[in-house]
């Protein structure tokens, strides 16, 4: 069994390490001090169990999970009990409240082992699918490229294009792929900044240079960087409402 420990406080990591030492069958393959390291470690080393703090700099525990394709069994370790409900929504094996005893730790570990046995052949992506359609407005979009995590503030996005199962975000002259449906992303973006101008495009309205009439009922948006994007009839209606 392989485990990783994710916590930004060293003493907290030490405690988990110490409590784990009583369980010979579990090997600690990584200790991570933040979410970025955690995503990298999980992607590269495929642990079976993850001890995950929630409140961490830049990338919190929930965001780490969102970025992972394959989830290990997760035990949240946190001083914040207001996240307990959300933890169960993301199918956490257990939820340890700091400070905790060795007994409580072992209990949580057993829950995780049980969940691990259960889910061995079950696609974790499906589990997450129940959770993902949360449509809370985001201030930033998280993208995983390999084992690296990019954090993109939404205002830096020029436009987003749908590409099969992916969306391609155009940011500062570069494209970034993210596995998500365009309609879901549309719900998560701030309404005052982004408009779905076409079946395949969401546009940051601040990037518009002008709107060109190509033919009757056929328009295109010319962006400040020179790109031209098609605008559908309903897209134009929405755009007109906003501008």
Partner 1 sequence: MHPILSERKRIFIYLSVWIGLGILFSFVLKTLSAIPAAYAAVIALPMFVVLSQLNLSAWFLAKVFPPDKSELWKLFSALAVSTLLISGIWGMLCWGWVTLLERYFSVQLFSEKTAVQFGIVVLISAQLYLLSVGLSYFFMTFETSRTAERNALELQLLAQNAELKALRMQINPHFLFNSLNSINALISRNPEKAREMTTLLADFFRKSLQFGAKEMITLGEEVSLLNNYLAIETIRFGSRLTIEQNIEPPALAVRVPPLILQPLLENAVKHGIADSLSGGTIRISAEQKNEQVFVVIENPVDDDGMKKKGIGLGLENVRRRLQTVFHDTADLQTYREGSTFRTLVYFPMNNIFAEQ
Which chain residues interact with partner 1 by CB under 8 A? 8-12, 14-15, 18, 33-34, 36, 55, 57-58, 79-80, 97-100, 139-140, 151, 153, 155-156
Q: How far apart are CA 209 and CA 221, in angstroms?
A: 8
* H-run or E-run covering 154: none
Q: Which is nearer to partner 1, 10 or 69 (CB)?
A: 10
Q: How far is 202 from 181, CA to CA, in rounded Å?
A: 12
> What is the rounded CA–CA span in Å between residue 149 and residue 134?
21
Residues in the chain: 243
Write the DSSP symbol of residue 170.
Answer: E
Q: Within a 10 A sphere around the Cβ of 213, how many other Cβ atoms?
A: 11
Smallest gap from Cβ 222 to partner 1, in A, equals 26
Which is closer to partner 1, CB of 14 or CB of 110? 14
Least distance from partner 1 to the Cβ atom of residue 100, Å? 8
Question: Least CB distance from residue 129 to partner 1, whole Å?
Answer: 27
**Rounded to the nearest whole angstrom, what is the least distance from the CB of residue 190 to partner 1 in the complex?**
12
Shortest gap between Cβ of 189 and partner 1 (angstroms)? 15
CA distance 123 to 30: 23
Judged by CB, which is closer to partner 1: 36, or 201? 36
Helix (H), strand (E), coil (C) string for 85-123: HHHHHCCCCEEEECCCCHHHHHHHHHHHHHHHHHHCCCC
Please, which residue, 13 or 219, has the CB nearer to partner 1? Answer: 13
- Whichever of 79 and 214 has its CB closer to partner 1, that residue is 79
């Amino acid at each position: 069994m392989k485990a990783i420990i994710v916590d930004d406080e060293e003493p907290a990591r030490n405690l988990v390490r110490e409590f784990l030492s009583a369980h010979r069958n579990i090997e600690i393959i990584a200790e991570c001090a933040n979410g970025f390291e955690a995503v990298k470690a999980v992607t590269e080393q495929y642990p079976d169990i993850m001890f995950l703090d929630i409140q961490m700099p830049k990338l919190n525990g929930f965001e780490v999970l969102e970025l992972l394709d394959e989830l290990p069994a997760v035990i949240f370790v946190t001083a914040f009990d207001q996240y307990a409900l959300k933890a169960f929504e993301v199918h956490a094996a257990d939820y340890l409240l700091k400070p905790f005893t060795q007994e409580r730790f072992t209990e949580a570990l057993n829950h995780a082992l049980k969940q691990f046995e259960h889910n061995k052949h079950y696609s974790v992506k499906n589990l997450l699918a129940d959770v993902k359609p949360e449509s809370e407005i985001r201030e930033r979009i998280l993208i995983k490229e390999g084992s690296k995590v990019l954090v993109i503030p939404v205002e830096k996005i020029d436009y987003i294009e749908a590409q099969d199962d992916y969306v391609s975000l155009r940011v500062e002259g570069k494209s970034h792929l993210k596995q998500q449906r365009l309609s879901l992303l549309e719900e998560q973006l701030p309404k005052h900044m982004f408009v779905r101008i076409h079946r395949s495009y969401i546009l940051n309205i601040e990037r518009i240079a002008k709107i060109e009439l190509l033919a009757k009922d056929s328009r295109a948006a010319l962006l400040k960087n020179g790109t031209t994007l098609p605008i559908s009839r309903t897209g134009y209606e929405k755009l007109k409402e906003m501008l």
